Amino acid sequence: MTLTVSRPAQPPDAPSSEVAGASLLLPESPFTTSDHKRIGRYYIAAGILFVLVGTAIALLLELQLSSSGANITGNDYDRLFSLHTTVSSLLFLPLLFTGLATYLVPLQIGARRLAFPRLQALAFWGTFFGGLCLLGSYTFGKPNGWGIAYPTALPFAKAGASRATDLWCGALMLIALCSVLAAANLFTTVLKLRAPGMTMVRVPAFSWSVLAVSAAVLVATPVFIGGLLLLYLDEHFGGGLFRPTQDHANLLWQHFLWLYGRPDVYLVVVPALGGLTDVVATHARRPLLQSLAAKALIFAVAVLCFGVLASGQSIEKAVLLPTPSVLSLLVAAPIGLLALLWLGTIRPAVLRFHVSMLYVLGFLVLLLAGAVNGVIAPSQHLQGGLTGAGSAWTVGQVHAVLFGAPTLAAFGAIYHWGPKIYGKALNAILGVLQWLLLLGGFLLAALGSWLAGYDGAPWHVTTYTGPDAHSWFADARIGVAGGVLVALGLLVFVANASMTWALARKAPEDDRPGDPYEASTLEWATSSPPPEDDFDVIPDVRSDAPLADWREAESSPT
Amino acid sequence: MAATQLALPSGERKADPSVAVYGILALSVAVLVVMGTLVGAYLAIRAGTKVFPPNGVVLQDYYSNILGGTALIAGFGGWWALYAVRRDERRQAVVALAMTAFMDAALINLMTYVIRSSALSPRTDAYGVLYYAFNIAVIAITATGMVVALVAMFRVLGGQVTSGEPGVGWAAAWYGTVVTLSFLIMYFFIYDLQ
């Protein structure tokens, strides 16, 4: 059942001029496209490309930690470490979720386009170019010391112009600026382009989460842009703003970095929760239990992410709160409640087995593993005490909870919306294989770091030394095995997506069901993939399940 | 053309003219947070060293006052344009928006001159870094304001901004205000609070 049975060559109604008219000024090309679906696919492809690079770097670093001696030394190790952290945290999950949002939000809210379609294309190409510059900075001479990612020291120890540092700062500024543009665009789209009758309460969970995360990005990311501008000028000209002798310099940088960095790391969970909420409701074949409460919980996560600023050893001295870890734990409360709502929705339902549900399960398993370790940690002798800052244990927590879980959620969403994005469902067997590889990989990678942390290993070191080093080497080898599995999982996805994309282009239109799930949200009301203007006719929405309403109306006697 | 099946009742409606306003306001929040970040850095550094401007550096009131006046005129131009748009005075709106863009250009021009002629340098001390960061941020914001004013002007010329659809006029007026506000924030902390 679709709004569009087949893809019309020319939409029958006039309002398409919004999109078509824009093409009169600029020729349609990958750089000037106003098609949100095309831009969304670019974002997803770029995210996958960057994470493959980030994972390759991670494997190099982990390999070095798994045996005595160091092949990558000093500055090179530091720079690779910084590249791994920034590429993985800024250029993978944010791009994947921005891509999904760019593709799906207009469809979910019944819009023909984004609020500013060309701005999104500009944001994408800026981000992509910035990502290439960030990676390219490694080849441009020596930077001024340790990279930005190290949280307890000034970013660059010595002043003086360096092309590598300039490129590094400039690339990060460009990426941050483009993320603000994309966030402003998505925020405005959800607020102003909803179909008639689609009140804020009726907005699907994923689009709701995009609204929440966009608002958070608009507030958090500019702090980083301002900080990077100061850092760039300071590093390039050597004025000494961040010099250790300067009063408050360290504190200043901590605030710039973590007012953005802490919420940013946690914020990727927000669209993950929104996406999985829609996945669960669709495959449970029934409305989500307490959908309004679920949306409030998603919003609460976005707000509480800012409290995480107070956690961690580095910022602990700056923010005078007696229990900074409580603010971190608070984020877990709405996530846990939301998971309970998912279970409450599934329990009485006739669940459809779909590969995306495995990813929901994987997401919960990784969160649970992180929670269990959070309980065990205080009884162990971690570096940095209760917070674990300075311990390899924290590396495990980061990889399981903040990176692994949202990654599984992102791929779960891609498998769920695959028929819409690619015009054909992704191969389910490869999907299960990828799930096994990713879940196993993340658990093993985290396990290596957890065990090393419990054995007293420090974090962020070039190589392990000391009497316990041999035990830590063994732990690191577990991490290497996990990293290899994750890399294989990503490659399986690349193969699956490429194969599906190629097959879908050859498949006749009858084989491209608009709504393969009997879903209730509007993105399934149009053909797969949707026509240029998304809908032949913008629907009038009467509830938060407009397609279910239509099916009911069709089946009832007139 | 392939046959289509209309599944849901149509909710087709005209494009919402306030989309541009909401977009500009969202962007304005980000712009003001950047300025707030720089103010935070300024206050933190000032709390440590307390001497601003550094010894031997004189920041002339004359230039800063001329800059402030230019920024205020640029901000006023946006609202004047909106006033004209709401009365369908197309020619007046074009003049107002052209003036706004011109004043933004003048602001950028004078700021670059003042920066080059000031004794503050990002090579010498932390305040120099802050001074340049403030100015670069305001120049970037003003340049964006100039683009917004020019886009609005061409849309008015093209008949896309009218009293019935004044959204872009509102957007230009609001962003012009943000440009002025950004400059005034810098003016207060750099030139006034010495």
User: What is the tens place of the pLDDT at every residue in A502-557?
Assistant: 988 887 776 677 888 888 899 998 888 898 888 888 888 888 888 888 888 877 76
A148 pLDDT band (50/70/90 cuts)? low
Tell me A391's DSSP state.
Answer: B
Residue predicted with more confidence, A11 or A279: A279
Contact A550 B8 (CB under 8 A): yes
Q: Which residue of A has its CA nearest to B132?
A: A233
Tokens of A406: 């949202």
- Closest residue to A247, CB basis, from B9, B38, B48: B48
**Contact: B1, A12; criterion CB under 8 Å:** yes
Q: From the CA of A351, how many Å to the nearest CA of chain B?
A: 26
CB of B50 within 8 Å of any CB in chain A? no
Tell whether A6 lies on the interface with B, counting CB pairs under 8 A.
yes
B67 neighbors B110 (Cβ within 8 angstroms): yes
Please, which residues bridge with residue A539 across strands? B10
Lowest mean pLDDT among A130-134, A220-224, A378-382, A524-528: A378-382
Are the C-beta atoms of A328 and A308 separated by less than 8 Å?
yes
Q: What mean pLDDT value characterizes chain A? A: 83
Q: Per-residue pLDDT tens for A369-414?
A: 988 887 777 666 665 554 555 788 888 888 998 899 999 999 999 9
Q: What is the pLDDT of residue A11?
A: 42
Q: Are A259 and A197 in contact, with CB atoms under 8 Å apart?
A: no
B143 in contact with chain A, both atoms CB, cutoff 8 A: no
- Determine the Cα–Cα distance for residues A504 and A511; give it in Å rounded to an integer: 9
Q: Indicate if the pLDDT at residue A122 is higher than 70.
A: yes
Give which of A406, A399, A289 is closest to A338, Cα–Cα: A289
CA distance A328 to A508: 51
Rounded to the nearest 5 degrees, what angle is found at the Cα of A464, between the Cα atoms of A460 and A470? Answer: 140
Which residues lie across from A172 on neighbouring strands? none
Q: Locate the domains of chain A by residue range.
A: 32-555
Tell me which chain A residues have a C-beta less than 8 angstroms from the C-beta of B37: 222-223, 225-227, 256
The pLDDT value given to residue B18: 86
Identify all chain B residues contacting A4, using CB atoms and an 8 Å cutoff.
4-5
pLDDT tens digits for range A149-176? 433 334 444 545 567 778 888 999 999 9
Q: What is the pLDDT of residues A61-106, one digit of tens each?
A: 888 888 877 677 767 777 788 888 888 889 999 999 999 999 999 9
Residues 101-130 of B with CB under 8 A from A: 121-126, 128-130
Q: Kindly state the tokens that stand for B25.
A: 């306001």
Domains detected in chain B: 19-193 (1.20.120.80)
B159 touches chain A (CB under 8 A): no
In this complex, is the C-beta atom of B6 within 8 Å of any C-beta atom belonging to chain A? yes
Dmax (CA) of chain B? 79
Q: What is the mean pLDDT of each run of 10 residues along chain B (194 residues)?
A: 47 73 95 95 82 79 90 95 95 96 96 89 86 95 97 94 91 96 93 79
Model pLDDT, residue B12: 60
Picking from A5, A192, A255, the nearest residue to B4 by CB comes out as: A5
Query: pLDDT tier at A17 (50, 70, 90 boundaries)?
Result: very low
How many CA within 13 A on the CB side of residue A346? 18
Mutual angle of helices A205-237 and B19-49, in 10-degree steps: 40
Return the residue matching tokens 């709004």: A3
Closest CB from B10, B44, B132 relative to A540: B10
Q: Is the CB of residue B27 less than 8 Å away from at least one CB of chain A? A: yes
Who wins on pLDDT, B64 or A461? B64
Nearest-by-Cβ selection for B27 from A184, A238, A525: A184
Question: What confidence score (pLDDT) does residue B14 get?
Answer: 64
pLDDT recorded at residue A39: 96
A/B interface, count of CB pairs below 8 Å: 182
CA atoms of B190 and B128, how far apart (whole Å): 11
Contact A4, A526 (CB under 8 A): yes
Report helix, strand or coil for B188: helix
Comparison of pLDDT for A147 and A392, the residue scoring more = A392
> What is the per-residue pLDDT for A364?
94
Strand partners, A222: none
A240 touches chain B (CB under 8 A): yes
Q: How is residue A378 annotated by DSSP? A: G
Of A8, A116, A191, the CB nearest to B4: A8
Q: If pLDDT is split at 50, 70 and 90, which confidence band does A189 have? A: very high
Please name the fold of domain A32-555: Cytochrome C Oxidase; Chain A (1.20.210)
Q: B22 vs A188: CB contact, 8 Å cut-off?
A: yes
Cis peptide before A508 (omega within 30 of 0): no
